[in-house]
Every structure is written in structure tokens, then in C-alpha cells.
Structure 1
Amino acid sequence: MYIGTNKILRVFIIFLAIMLFLAIYLYYTNRTNLNPLGLTLYGNIEQRQISLAFNANERITELFVEEGDSVIKGQLLGKLDTRTIRQQIKKAQAQIKANEAALLRLKNGSRPQEIEQAKAVVNVAKADVEHKKKLYNRYTNIVKMTNGQGISKQNLDESRADYNASLATLDNKKLALELAEIGPRIEDINQAQAILKSSMADLAILNRQLEESYLIAPADAFVRARILEVGDMASSQKPVYTLALISPKWVRAYVPEADLGKIKQGMHANIISDSFPDTPIEGQVGFISSNAEFTPKYIQTEELRTALVYEIRIYVKDPTNQLKLGMPITVKLRD
């Protein structure tokens, strides 16, 4: 009875030894497949961030997202008070209509009625010239006939001045008629066109300022911080949100000088986080620094902090945002 029990115990021990051997074999086989180079690095997740601000100075009326929310490119994130800018736009639109009317008036030239009116004014001026000419001639004859006694010198001088003034007025009215018949100068038309273009440019600037009253997400991202609130005064110097871009995202790690020759750009890697140790994420070496530096204090042990290392970046695709900014990461490089 004792011999049979001893034999069963030996068989059981042999079975356990075999199972332990298989477990160890499978563990190291799997470890080799995940990390065939045998090179393991440690680093942290990094990604680009945006400090997003309004490009206008107005009061914030609405904000639509909170910390931790995901946003897509083109999504509306916030709004400013637009009442003032909308009134300015209405004023600019009215100014454009006035400038268009002025330009059209110049292009159309004088109306027939205006030309007839100018002709009538010329005729009136001609009649005035004839009247004052006759009066001046009569005074001159009287002076000759009376040897200067019939008309005072002052009256004669005043008549001569009135006659000369009427001649000047007639010339002026003739020029006005000629201008009415010719129409506006090309320079005046060009000036009116320039004024119209300037007013249209002013309207375009105001419309652009209206667009800038809306805060739009520039890329797919996650909201890391909401800095301002509804009622705050916005400006281009005061960020409203801090956004962390979904892509690109990378692991910043450091390679000892002795292992630098094993790493090549484009090499694949398994990215393993403490939060998801059983679900590695695919990564690829995208940057290898050409400058050596001392190991950062937060990366290595005290014994290795004085060793020279090279920075590398392993880019990862993480559309579900599984890897967070600053998260510690284990990198297992593959061929």
C-alpha cells in the first residue's frame, strides 16, 4: 500500500515538473515574439497641445464643451456677443449702397434735363452781358458828348466793372454747360470705383470679425482644460480651452549609447501601458535624435543617470484615446 502511494506521488511530481517546464517555455517564447531584439525601453506618452482663444475682444455668451470631451475638426466650441459687430455690418452695407449709387450717377453722366438747364443758364448770362454792355456803351457816349460832365467817373467805372463781371459769369456758365455735355471725368469715375471697393473691403473685414466670434475646433482633439467661462471677456491673449490633439501621439523614450545601433527609423514596437498590460498597441520609431544627452532624472535609476542616451520617438495610433498624456509606457522593440 505504501509502495503504491509513493509511486503515485512520484508520477504527480514529474507531471508538475513537466507542466512547469512548459509554462516557462511558453512564457519566454511569447516574450521573445513580443520583443525579438530583447530591447526594452521606458518612456512617457506625449502629444501636441493647442491653446485655443478667440481672435476678438468681446464677452463670451456660450461655451459648449467641458474638460474630457472629445471634439472633431470644425466643431463649434463657443460664441461671443455679436450684437455690436452685426450693427457695424448693417452700416457698412448701407455705405456700399450709397457708393454704388454715386458711381452709377457718374457713369450715366448728365441727364438731358440738366443739359437743358445749363443751356438756359448760359442764355440768361448772355442776356445779362448784352444788357450791361449797352448800359456801359450809353454811359461812354454820354461822357463823350458832355465832355465828362453828364456821368460821374464812379458811375462809369461801376458800369464797366459790371459789364466785365457779366462776361466772366457767361464764360463760367459756358464751361459748366460744356462739362455737362461731356460728362464726368474718367478720374472721377475711377475715384468712385476705388471708394466702392474700399467700402466692400471694410464689409469683408467686418464679416471676418463676425466669423471670429465663433470658436471652432481646428482638429480632432480632447479637451484638457476649460480656462474661461460664460461672461468672461475674451481676447487673443487669453486661451479659452487647452486641446490635446488625437494625432500625432508618441512615446518619448531614451536609448543607451550601446544599443543605439540596434534601432532604425521605421522599426515596429509594442507599446504597453500599466493600465492595459495585456493589450499592447502597435507603434513605429519615427525619430532618432542625433545628439547625445544625459539621462533625464525621471527615466532611469540613480546609477544610470550620468550615462549618455539618445532620445527616440515611437509614434502610435490611438483613436480611442487609451493612452493619456504623461502616462508611463514600456516599449518593446521588434524587427
Structure 2
Amino acid sequence: MKKTILFSIILVTLASCQNKEKYDATGIFEANMVTVSSETNGKLVSFAIEEGDSIINGQQVGLVDTIMLALQQKQLLSQQLATEKSSPDIAAQAAALRSQIAHQQNECDRIARLLADGAATQKQSDDANAQLRTLRGQLEGLLSTLDKNRSSITESASALQYQREQIEEQIRKSIVAAPITGIVLQKYAEQGEYTTPGRPLFKMANLDDIYFRSYFTASQLAHIRIGQAVTVIADFGGDEQYEYPGKIVWIAQESEFTPKSIQTQDSRANLVYAVKIAVKNDGRLKLGQYGEVRL
């Protein structure tokens, strides 16, 4: 009888040891989480998301008040149009002076013919040519002034355009949108609250493609490599466990002390290497959930 009991104990002990050796390392499930923050000042006029909501990349989930920005944009547009309309019409303003120059050129030609026939004096010819040079100088000065004025007005209009683009960028930043496709994990603000740049609004993560962070000892590194297929075992408590195919996507280059919540095959090992294993979530896996990995 005693031999039978002893044999039973040995079998239980062996079974227990075999169960303990069914995994090579333990860890927890995690995901790349993104915290979305406000990019501008103002009141949250809309913020229609709740924790647990599924949102897609680029989806608008909130809006910071843009009334003042829209008014500033209209004001700048009016100033820009008024500035552009004040640009001088160089051709129109120089037309009268060009006409005078053409008339004076004809007068100089006429006096030159009279001078050749002896019907005009040299002084009359000199005076006419001097008047022509004066008119040409006036035209040159006018064109230079008008060109400078137009350049200055163009620069002013461009500056107003840049200001409008800045306002447009601020309006764009007032839209709160999802940067990735995923699930809202936490919500830090409510509609109607005042927000400032940098204030966290919500946190989200893609829970379809998650990672299993595990830790391996130095002696195990020789048996793992990036791209290697492994089996991840999710522990749901009791005897309920599910296996998932996984692929090693990252191995730490530096060791660290074994986290208190992590078990390794070698209980004497103090230093371990973190490893990330990509796992496709079927909807059952939760962040922070305990699991095991088998090579």
C-alpha cells in the first residue's frame, strides 16, 4: 500500500514538472499605444467618443472652437484683396507721359528740319531737345517709383497670404482626429471643457495586431532569432489556455534585471533580454494579460 502511494506521488511530481516545462518564458501582452493631445487652445465644442469605441485612421472625433480663427481668416482675406487692388497700373499712369514724349520727339524732329533749312535757330533746337530729355527722365523716375510701389504692395499681399495660411493651419489643428485605426482605451477630456496645446485628450491602440513581451536568459538567446515562429500561450485563469502563432520581431540588445512578475526556466538567472513577439488578436487577448511562450 505504501509503495502504491509513493508511486502515485512520484507520478504527480513528474506530471507537475512536465507542466512546468511546457513553456520557455513568460510575459504579458501589450500594444503600441498612442496618446492624442490637443494642438491648440479653445473649448471642445465636440468630442463624441467613448472608451471602447472603434475608430479608424483619420476619423474626426472632436473639434476645438474655431469661430475666432474663421473671423480672423475673413479679415485677412479682405485686407489681402484691398492690398492687391491698390497695386498701381503702371501702363495707365505712364501713358500720359509717354504721349508727351512722343509729341516732343515730333517737335524736335520738326525744329531739326527747320534748322536745316535755316528757318529755326540752334537755341530753339537745344531747348526742344532739353525738354525731351526732361520728359524721358520724368518717365524713368515714374516707372521706378511705380515698380517699387508695386513690389512693396505685392510683398504686403504675400505677407497677408502667409498669415491666412497660418490661420488655416490652426483651424486644421483644431480638428481632433484618430492617428491610427484602433480602440479608445482611455478618455481624458469631455465636450465643453477648455483645452490647451499638449493636453492629452484620449489614448488608443490597435488591438488587432498586438505584441507579447517576454524575457529570455542569455543561455536561451542562441535558440531565438528575429523572424522566428513561436507559440504563445494565453492564460485565462484555471486550466483555460489558448495557443496563438507568433513571430519574434524584436530582441533587446542590452540585458536587464528580471522583472518581479516574470518567471524564467533558470531561476538563478538575474539578467534577461526582452523580446517582442507579434501576435494576431482574435478578440480574446487583453492588454496586460499573462501568457507563456514556447519555442
Counterparts of 1:28-67 in structure 2, within 5 Å, are 39-67=23-51
Any conservation in 2 of the 1:253–1:311 contact (CA below 8 Å)? yes
Q: What code does the residue aligned with 1:244 have?
A: A
Higher-Rg member (1/2): 1
- Percent identity between the two aligned chains: 24
Number of residue pairs the alignment of both structures matches: 240
Structure 1 counterpart of 2:153: 192
Quote how far apart the aligned CAs of 1:109 are.
Answer: 4.6
Quote how far apart the aligned CAs of 1:196 are.
Answer: 1.2
Query: Could you say what the CA RMSD is over the residues aligned between the two structures, in angstroms?
Result: 3.2
Task: Evaluate the alpha carbon distance shift between residue 278 and residue 324 of structure 1 in structure 2; reply closer, same or farther with a 3 A threshold.
Answer: closer
Distance, in Å, in 1 between the alignment partners of 2:65 and 2:216 is 52
Counterparts of 1:1-335 in structure 2, within 5 Å, are 39-103=23-87, 105-110=88-93, 178=139, 182=143, 184-246=145-207, 249-275=210-236, 277=240, 279-300=242-263, 304=267, 307-318=270-281, 320-333=282-295
Q: What code does the residue aligned with 1:260 have?
A: L
Quote how far apart the aligned CAs of 1:185 are.
Answer: 3.7
Any conservation in 1 of the 2:90–2:146 contact (CA below 8 Å)? no
Which region of structure 1 is more displaced relative to structure 2, 243-252 or 43-52? 243-252
Q: Which 4+ residue blocks in structure 1 deviate beyond 3 angstroms?
A: 106-109, 174-185, 245-248, 275-279
Q: Secondary structure at the match of 1:92?
A: helix
TM-score (norm 1): 0.63
Quote how far apart the aligned CAs of 1:328 are.
Answer: 0.9
Any conservation in 2 of the 1:65–1:77 contact (CA below 8 Å)? yes
- Bigger fraction of residues in helix: 1
Quote how far apart the aligned CAs of 1:211 are.
Answer: 1.1
Quote how far apart the aligned CAs of 1:248 are.
Answer: 5.5
Distance, in Å, in 2 between the alignment partners of 1:177 and 1:90 is 41
TM-score (norm 2): 0.71
Task: Evaluate the alpha carbon distance shift between residue 180 and residue 265 of structure 1 in structure 2; reply closer, same or farther with a 3 A threshold.
Answer: closer
Q: Secondary structure at the match of 2:31?
A: strand
Q: What code does the residue aligned with 2:166 have?
A: I
Task: Evaluate the alpha carbon distance shift between residue 178 and residue 311 of structure 1 in structure 2; reply closer, same or farther with a 3 A threshold.
Answer: closer
Q: What code does the residue aligned with 2:247 have?
A: Q
CA distances 1:248-300 after superposition (whole Å, capped 9, x unpaired): 52111111222221112211112221239564222101112232222111112
Task: Evaluate the alpha carbon distance shift between residue 182 and residue 201 of structure 1 in structure 2; reply closer, same or farther with a 3 A threshold.
Answer: closer
Distance, in Å, in 1 between the alignment partners of 2:165 and 2:274 is 48
Distance, in Å, in 1 between the alignment partners of 2:215 and 2:231 is 16
